[in-house]
Amino acid sequence: MRASDLLLLLVVVAGCSPEKRQSSTLTPGESQLEVPGGTIWYKVSAGGTGTPVVLLHGGPGFSSFYLKPLEALADDRVVIRYDQLGGGKSSSTTDTTLFTIPHFVQELDSLRSHLGIAKWHVLGHSWGTILAFEYYRAYPNHVASLVFGSPVFDIPTYEKRARELLTTLPNSLQRSVARAEATGKFDAPDYQNAINAFYSLYVFRRPVPADLDSTFGTANQTIYNYMQGPSEFTITGTLKGYDVTRLLPQIKVPTLLTVGEFDEVGPELVKGFAARIPGARFEELAGAAHITTWDAPDAMISAVRAFLRSADTVAARAPS
């Protein structure tokens, strides 16, 4: 009998899928992985035997501190939280040749391969939804399901909404933004005050103080400025024209889309994305802004947990 046949026989006898057996052998804890340009930090939280899930944070250039509440899912399955190259606990870099979607897609699959996972659920938030979608396009056979938290699949339309939200700020702050955009002086204190006011309304309303400090203390502004721009509402980076709305119907795996009631992305935009994805679920989280894991952690965890359990059930019933 071949070794591969013996492994399959052992899996069948154990009564669980190869993905579940892989998840049970992953060692909990923190580690580092060498990737082009440096090392990335990752953490494995383990408990249950469901198909693993990997968490993709937003930014670009930020970190996964704000996704820590989702580690509660580890009682069902392995949870992998990591910081993309450049931010958080991963190596810092200013090499703009690495600030591309293909780089981050390959980085993610390097992590999957390193952990020995054949297929995993992929959960992205904000910029992480772009990464999740592009990863699925590149490696569909490695994706069991997709969770898109506050997705930004249409940056031009998102930018239009962000500019509309900007008009809800005091006139003095709106003038500060206009002045900074005219002069290019985005480090001006009054422009930074406008950013903070915008954040407090549409990005996070109930942040976790320690994780908020860590998030901004380890952010890579070079990546953020290069790919996004100087703020959430002044978009000048390489992602400015990104729009894959027409490609969403190509998604063939179970999909969940979530958004906060006061999210900068906007419930209507996300609901429109969901309508384009066959069989997709949509969840609006009351009282939350963009970072739902801070503003509505229990509701976010509950929605994701129920969805992943359902996706595992669908996968178990699928013909081999």
**What's the CATH number where 28 sits?**
3.40.50.1820
- Work out how many domains the chain is built from and give that number: 1
For residue 35, what are the contacts with CB-CB under 8 A and spacing of at least 6? 85, 107, 110
| Catalytic, out of 23, 63, 64, 126 | 126
Neighbours of 89 (CB within 10 A): 18
- The answer as to whether 2 is a domain residue is no
- Spatial separation of the C-alpha atoms in residues 55 and 66, rounded to whole Å: 11
Domain that holds residue 69: 21-317
- The answer as to whether 5 is a domain residue is no
- The answer as to whether 15 is a domain residue is no
Judging by DSSP bridges, how do beta strands 29-35 and 50-56 pair with one another?
unpaired
Q: Is the pLDDT of residue 317 over 90?
A: no
Q: Which of these ranges, 110-119, 278-287, 307-316, has the smallest mean pLDDT? A: 307-316
**Average pLDDT score over residue span 154-172:** 98
Give buried/exposed letters for 256-281 (b at 16+ CB in 10 A, else e).
Answer: bbbbbebbbbbbebbebbbeebeebb
- The answer as to whether 11 is a domain residue is no
Q: Is the pLDDT of residue 137 over 60?
A: yes
| Catalytic, out of 17, 290, 295, 312 | 290
Q: Is the pLDDT of residue 90 over 90?
A: yes
Residue with token string 């000048």: 236
Mean pLDDT of the chain: 93
- pLDDT, one tens digit per residue, over 7-21 is 333 333 333 444 443
290 belongs to the catalytic site: yes
263 belongs to the catalytic site: yes
- The answer as to whether 276 is a domain residue is yes
- The answer as to whether 146 is a domain residue is yes
